[in-house]
Amino acid sequence: MNRDSNAYTFIFATVMVIVVAASLAIAATSLKPMQNENVRKEKMQNILSTIGVEVEREQAGEEFNKYIKEQISLTADGSIDESVNAFNIDLAKELKKPVEEQRFPLYKAEIEGKQYFIIPLRGAGLWDAIWGYISLEDDINTIKGAVFDHKGETPGLGAEITQSWFEKRFEEEKIFDPESGEFVGVTVMKGYSGGNNKDDNAIDAISGATITGDGVTDMIYNRLQYYMPYLKQQNVKVALNN
């Protein structure tokens, strides 16, 4: 057959596409379980790192079981839904549902007798989704630690939210307004001048990453507000006493 004829070219292209697609599909399907395991362990690593526990990926499973005492899924009004496995909740899908149908995963950790609440976050950055975990101390007000990740923020600007120097700014910040006692979250603020003030509900933003920073602000407020009914039951002293 003439190699330069149109028919040959079409047949060649068709066969090639089918062969390539089939082999890629087989490879992707057979590697999927291992990739999922990696993602699962990374999630455990992320959750643990918000409470200051850094583990290797291999040990993530054991350490996770050691520190995380309870995993519960909440409804928006603060009651516990026993029928849902908190760890398997996919926030990306959950966020698309109406609030009443959403379930909110909450992890309770314990280190040296101190209890921490770890809350998964998810929101929108400039280009795509951003997500993370934030942990609160047992006063439900002080942030113990936070980790963030993103899908497609600009490298060097918005993508810097994954850096530890940014995540460290959240440590010890308060999520309640010290005067009114209202839940306000933490604002990622442009031109922040509060220095090391941990009681002003704000941290310094990253230059050039305003929208990603606003995304982080919104994400923290939007997600945490649904946990307040439950968390307030857990601890009545909350911020009002501070």
- Find the shortest distance in angstroms from Cβ 156 to other proteins: 10
- Quote the DSSP letter at residue 90: -
Q: Does 25 bind other proteins (CB under 8 A)?
A: no
x/- mask, other proteins, residues 37-76, rule CB under 8 A, reads -x---x--------------x-------------------
Q: Does 14 bind other proteins (CB under 8 A)?
A: no
Name the H helices within 51-123. 60-67, 91-94
User: Which secondary structure element, helix H or strand E, spans residue 217, and what is its range?
Assistant: helix 210-225
- Give the interface size with other proteins as a residue count (CB under 8 A): 19
Q: Is 33 exposed, middle or buried (0-12, 13-18, 19+ CB in 10 A)?
A: exposed
Q: Does 22 bind other proteins (CB under 8 A)?
A: no
- Find the shortest distance in angstroms from Cβ 3 to other proteins: 5
Task: Tell me how many degrees the CA angle 130-224-41 measures, rounded to the nearest 5.
Answer: 50
Q: Does 207 bind other proteins (CB under 8 A)?
A: no
Q: Does 13 bind other proteins (CB under 8 A)?
A: yes
Q: Does 8 bind other proteins (CB under 8 A)?
A: yes
- Find the shortest distance in angstroms from Cβ 87 to other proteins: 18
Residues in the chain: 242
**Locus of tokens 């009545």:** 236
Asked whether 180 and 194 are in contact (CB, 8 A), the reply is no
Q: Which of 234, 139, 239 is nearest to 180 (CA)?
A: 239
- Find the shortest distance in angstroms from Cβ 239 to other proteins: 33
Rounded Cα–Cα distance for residues 42 and 100 (Å): 29
Q: Which of 102, 106, 104 is nearest to 136 (CA)?
A: 106
Q: Does 28 bind other proteins (CB under 8 A)?
A: yes
Q: Does 3 bind other proteins (CB under 8 A)?
A: yes
* Beta carbon nearer to other proteins, 13 or 92: 13
- Contact set with other proteins (CB under 8 A): 3-4, 8-9, 12-13, 16-17, 20, 23-24, 27-28, 31, 34-35, 38, 42, 57
